């Protein structure tokens, strides 16, 4: 659900934030899930420029604007989780890859995996084999 809100933000940046919150409340019945989704959306929104800059440096030969919108937002979400949450890095990458496979193109899963793996190595100093 957080990805869907971020996708909406990306394609329609002027939409009122309350619309997104109503969407999360309607789709996620559990207060814990609603709060988790809100925290992801708020975090990506708050750190949007920084995430895009870091991802742009990581994605050789790809500008974020050239990427498919779903891939771009999955990458933002994954990068946010790696940098700012307690989600284990490998779990964040695996979840991002699963989202990319579900909502993106046939190439989205490997594309997202490759960029987030490289992102992890550059920004955490992690071992690329451990990240995959």
Q: Other C-beta atoms within 10 Å of 101: how many?
A: 16
Is 122's pLDDT higher than 60?
yes
Model confidence pTM above 0.85: yes
Give the Cα separation of 28 and 71 in Å (integer).
23
pLDDT band at 128 (very low <50, low <70, confident <90, very high): very low
Range of the structural domain that residue 45 is part of: 2-131
Is 131's pLDDT higher than 70?
no
98: tokens are 């699963």
Tally of structural domains, the chain: 1
pLDDT tens sequence across 28-71: 989 999 999 999 999 999 999 999 999 999 998 888 889 999 99
60: tokens are 């050789």
CA 50 to centroid of chain Cα atoms:
13
Instruction: Give the residue with greater pLDDT, 24 vs 62.
Output: 24
What CATH number should be reported for the domain holding residue 52?
1.10.940.10
Q: Which of 40, 27, 107 is nearest to 68 (CA)?
A: 107
């Amino acid at each position: 659900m957080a990805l869907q809100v971020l996708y909406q933000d990306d394609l329609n940046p002027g939409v009122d934030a309350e619309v997104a919150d109503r969407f999360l409340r309607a789709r996620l019945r559990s207060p814990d899930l609603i709060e988790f989704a809100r925290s992801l959306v708020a975090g990506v929104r708050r750190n949007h420029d920084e995430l895009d800059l870091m991802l742009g440096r990581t994605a050789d030969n790809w500008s974020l604007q050239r990427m498919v919108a779903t891939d771009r937002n999955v990458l933002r979400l994954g990068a946010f989780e790696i940098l700012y949450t307690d989600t284990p890095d490998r779990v964040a990458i695996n979840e991002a890859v699963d989202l990319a496979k579900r909502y993106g193109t046939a190439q989205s899963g490997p594309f997202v995996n490759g960029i987030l793996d490289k992102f992890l190595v550059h920004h955490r100093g992690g071992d690329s084999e451990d990240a995959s």
